[in-house]
Structure 1
């Protein structure tokens, strides 16, 4: 069987880009069990409630829902278990320092397969205030209306 090439997206956290100012993005590998990989290959995962935390020099992905594999046996995994993330030591130290600083959190943006290996795109993010969210929505609508007017004018 040939190896997978490229990037196959499994799940995206669109809500994170609405709720947070993204400051920096990291790619991390995930330590998974066999049935978790099979469930991900079926394209089933939810990132909405998930976050990451640095504990004892390791980064952990918490509260990400990967449903149980339908054809699994007693070896099936629990859906919301804590999963270890694989990052370089310097990246972990940098993330640890920034999250201790205050106001910053680690949020998963997307879960995907890159050349056959499961990866997560992790963002160092700062929470938005309510007025920030309203401002972003108004800006997006204004851009959409300008594009629509230009399309109509160019007909």
Structure 2
């Protein structure tokens, strides 16, 4: 990565708080108060482990493609990894009206020449009404990753 900070350099919590604050700013609410309240909200986190029947480099491209299609406003970022492991992170809209931001992190690990392990983690802030956005997003993206193109 370059010296510019990207989504893989920041914590899930920071990204989720920033997204909620941006939404508040667009609605004319106090960004400072929203940031304070957002830090107190609980997170809905869900992880899915899958084996993708593609070589590691193809799997990495497939993960980026799926996150680009599901994401909004931010390109998925691949963190510098080792030869056998890479991390991809992006933001996805979920929930009612797509107003709930979900941080999706995919850890892509080589498990063989023709298959790759992928750990998909989706995290979203939960308000008073539980939408399970992290859980639903992880399951939806896992189904998309299970369908190599």
By the TM > 0.5 criterion, same fold? no
Whichever structure has more helix as a proportion of its residues is 2
Relative contact order, higher structure (CA 8 A, sep 6+): 1
> Considering only CA atoms, is the larger Rg found in Structure 1 or Structure 2?
1
Q: Provide TM-score, normalisation by structure 1.
A: 0.28
Q: Provide TM-score, normalisation by structure 2.
A: 0.28
